[in-house]
Amino acid sequence: MAPNYESTRADGIATLLTGISGLLKSEKFTDLEVRLGDRVWNVHKSIVCARSEFFVKACNGEFREGKEGIVELHDDEPDVIDKMFHYMYNNEYDDADTETVPVLFNVRIVAAAEKYFVDHLALLAVSKLDYYVEDSWATRPFADGIEETYTTTADTDRQLRDAFLEVVDRHADELFDKDSTRYPHFQAMAAKTVSFSMEVAARLAKAEGIRRSRVTYRCPGANCPMVFRSTMKEADTSVVRKCGKCGLDSNYSWDKWQQFRTIFDGTVIETA
């Protein structure tokens, strides 16, 4: 029986990746030395140039680095660069074995990915960061991560910024408490990171506009307590609704519900 094509192909890819990964560990056949302070990485031009446009330009024969086989980096965190090279050879990196907490570390990985033009690394870092941010919103690293995001990464990096902003949206009442005492590290960061604060204000203003545009409705069913708010207006008669509380016949459309609008007592049972 002939081998299965898909499984054979997958096994071949796995073997290839294992072989490439082993090259970084063994340092066999290396032809490029990368220096950062007292740290040195012996890597392969063919690998790093395939993953990074920065190294393509650095290894070009017209430049000293290309002729001498040495590239010197500056103003980078060694652990971040180490993970960047690990990613180039393994398509993955571990954010749990560093001294920097994962939220902050992954922001720095994004900054390095953008600085050295490493394809797809920033996307992987954002996906990792997204795993941590919801549980870290009340911590100092969360605030520090936002500050670094808005000062060290590209303004066009919406996925990284939105990962933080969506969490801030959900916890805005706590983070921006009126006494400004519960999370002073966050509020101090927001005060000096103007671009972040402007984006938060714009998002909260939009949410408030949507909230104010909602109309309060009450189910016309006898003794049914269903009250809900919606942006649907009287003219929107094409949408049919069935009461989720009493199961009132779905033939009641929005214009019929509009007739039973009542003063809202503050208890929303359902928001449409």
Q: What is the pLDDT of residues 15-36, one digit of tens each?
A: 878 888 888 888 888 999 999 9
Listed by start position, the domains of the chain span 9-93, 123-213, 215-272
* Nearest CA among 130, 189, 132, 115 for reference residue 161: 130
159-196 CB burial, b ≥16 within 10 A, e <16? ebbebbbebbeeeeeebbeeeeeebeebbebbeebeeb
Give the burial class of 130: count Cβ atoms within 10 A of its Cβ; 0-12 exposed, 13-18 middle, 19 or more buried: middle
Give the rounded distance of the alpha carbon of 10 from its chain centre.
29
Residue-level pLDDT at 54: 95
Confidence of residue 191 (pLDDT cuts 50, 70, 90): very high
Confidence of residue 240 (pLDDT cuts 50, 70, 90): low
Q: Determine contact, residues 175/169, Cβ cutoff 8 Å.
A: no
Amino acid at 49: C
Q: Determine contact, residues 95/109, Cβ cutoff 8 Å.
A: yes
Lowest-pLDDT range of 21-30, 105-114, 150-159, 162-171? 21-30
In CATH, the number for domain 9-93 is 3.30.710.10
Q: What is the pLDDT of residues 106-116, one digit of tens each?
A: 999 999 999 99
Residue-level pLDDT at 270: 47
Residue 12, pLDDT > 80, answer: yes
Residue-level pLDDT at 237: 52
Q: What is the pLDDT of residues 55-97, one digit of tens each?
A: 999 988 666 666 688 999 999 999 999 999 999 999 999 999 8
Confidence of residue 9 (pLDDT cuts 50, 70, 90): confident
